[in-house]
Amino acid sequence: MKTLPRLLLLLAVLCSGTGSAWAFIEDKEARLAILELRKQVESLRQLSERLGRESQAGSDDNTQLRRALLDMQSQIDALRAELSQAKGDRELLARELAETQRKVKNQAQGVEERLRKFEPIRVKIDGADVDVEPAEAKDYDQALAVFRKGDFAAASLMYIDFLRRYPQTPYMTPALFWLGNAQYATRDYKSAISSFWQLIQFAPDHPRAPESWLAIANCQIEMKDTKAARKTLEDLIKAHPTSEAASAAKERLAKLK
């Protein structure tokens, strides 16, 4: 029975080895496998004790014990390898998941930024706060900037295009007003009269309406249509008698006579 101490030592090593393998176990099936192996180790330990008590234990039992221990060691090694591989797979999946989450977050931020470009913004038009499309506000401001630079021909084209693309724009009244002024500056009097008249029809009580009446009369004077200019000035005085434009209209009527 000289082999028993060494067998018991091997059992102790196997039992302690299962403890290190336990550190890799992260699921129920792996724990069950370890418990089963420990049961087998306990069975072998009991077998070895029984062999120690039986003085007539034969070499066949020792051989059986050695084979069982070797088989168990192989199972433990295989389980360690599987658990190690499983841990590596989980780490790889964790990295892939983190990378996917990062990409999704970046895409979501990109979509949010693109959507923000289409979300209405609040601007002040003629003293009132209104919501407009970001592109709409940008295009209007660009046209006004060109007008203020004195490039009236380019401003006219920009305002015409603006009104074509945004037929329901809250900028309708100021766009028509500045378009008419740009057309007047380029001596396109007929087009200017049309723009100012659209403004008056669209918003007859707008603060820009009296100025538009006066601008139409100025266009008519430039076109040498005195009769039409006089009629326009008289209509202006009737429609907006207390306005500054009406005072200017009275002065011009006196000169036309």
In-domain check, residue 122:
no
* Statement to judge: residues 9 and 111 lie in one domain: yes
Residue 182: which of 191, 169, 171 has the closest Cα? 191
Does any domain span residue 80?
yes
Instruction: List average pLDDT for each run of 10 residues in the chain, which is 257 residues long.
Output: 48 47 52 69 68 54 67 74 70 70 60 57 90 95 97 98 96 98 98 98 96 97 95 96 95 87
Range of the domain at 13: 3-115
CB atoms within 10 A of CB 131: 11
What pLDDT score does 156 carry? 98
User: Which residue's entry shows tokens 């603060």?
Assistant: 207
Write down the pLDDT at residue 62.
60
Q: How many independent structural domains does the chain possess?
A: 2
Q: Do 170 and 223 fall into the same domain?
A: yes
Residue 100 sits in the same domain as residue 155: no
* Residue 158: inside a domain: yes
Structural domain includes residue 103: yes
Q: Does this model's pTM top 0.75?
A: no
**pLDDT for res 213:** 98
Determine the distance from the C-alpha atom of residue 235 to the mean position of all C-alpha atoms in its chain, rounded to a whole number: 54
